Amino acid sequence: MPAAPRSLKLYQSKRDFAKTAEPSGKRRVAPAKLLRYVIQKHAATRLHYDFRLELDGVFKSWAVTRGPSLDPHDKRLAVEVEDHPLDYGDFEGTIPKGQYGGGTVQLWDRGYWAPEGSAEDMLRKGDLKFVVEGKRLHGSFVLVRIRNDKFGTGRKNWLLIKHHDQYAKEGDHDALLADDKSVASGRSMAQIAAGKGRKPTPFMLAKRAPFAADAVWHSNKGDSPTPRKAAPAKRVAKTKRVVKKRAAKTRTTKAKAR
């Protein structure tokens, strides 16, 4: 079993793995030619959407309070949280109330992403531009870090903004968020909370389905793995071309604008 990345220390310090079956970051995930992302709809104390981008062996993560928007005029608050392990990206189920992050979790979107430049440099500068190709989200976005913490919370707040492109929808009024259906199981939040319906198909752990339909992270009971074929090579190649093409097109458009 591989060692967990050092950047997961904060994540691990917030959890007691003798009580929770949440991933510790030591499970080996399926290799991929592209960087992956997942968005988990999370009905915790307040409903929010956990936006996770794969980078350097972990998920860089933000809690988007009102969910992503397709309207470039909307600037959605995205609170930076601790890095999460990559196998976390397959979880859909319930974290019991009273435990860290307690609430129902739905796999709302997932796919592939590509930074428009050096991701490390853009993160350091607080201006991460990227393109995504997922089940629900497509095209170019940016995460912009807010410099001032006027409330003294110590949090790193960012804004998630949709760029103007063919996938932008002005005046969308969050129509996309109205579809309460998991991209991994087709279940609603209520069905997930009740442990009903199909268990989620894997994405990060492509050869096994680690979580059952009634997955609850509060015990040491494991779910039986189910074999599953890896994604077809043609599909991966096609997605790679789409992501690269959109990133190149965006850079060309911005260069002409200058």
Four-CA torsion 53, 243, 67, 200, nearest 10 degrees: -70
Four-CA torsion 173, 52, 78, 131, nearest 10 degrees: -60
Q: Which of 14, 33, 97, 196 is catalytic?
A: 196
CA-to-CA distance for 49 and 38, rounded, in angstroms?
A: 10
CA-to-CA distance for 246 and 241, rounded, in angstroms?
A: 9
pTM above the 0.95 mark? no
Full 3-state SS string of 95-129: ECCCCCCCEEEEEEEEEEEEECCCHHHHHHHCEEE
pLDDT at 26: 67
Task: Please provide the DSSP assignment of 55-67 as one string.
Answer: ETTEEEEEEETT-
CA-to-CA distance for 89 and 43, rounded, in angstroms?
A: 16
Task: Please provide the DSSP assignment of 179-211 as one string.
Answer: ----TTT---HHHHHHT-SPPPPPSSSTTB---
pLDDT at 226: 32
52-91 pLDDT, tens digit each: 999 999 999 999 999 999 999 999 999 999 999 999 999 9
pLDDT at 232: 41
Weakly modelled stretches of the chain, pLDDT under 70:
1-4, 6, 9-10, 12-13, 15-26, 149-154, 206-240, 246-258
Q: Is 10 helix (H, G, I), strand (E, B) or coil?
A: helix
Q: Pick from 231, 18, 216: which is nearest to 104 by CA?
A: 216
Domain spans of the chain, in order of start: 6-257
Annotated active-site residue 196? The verdict is: yes
Per-residue tokens: 217: 């992270």
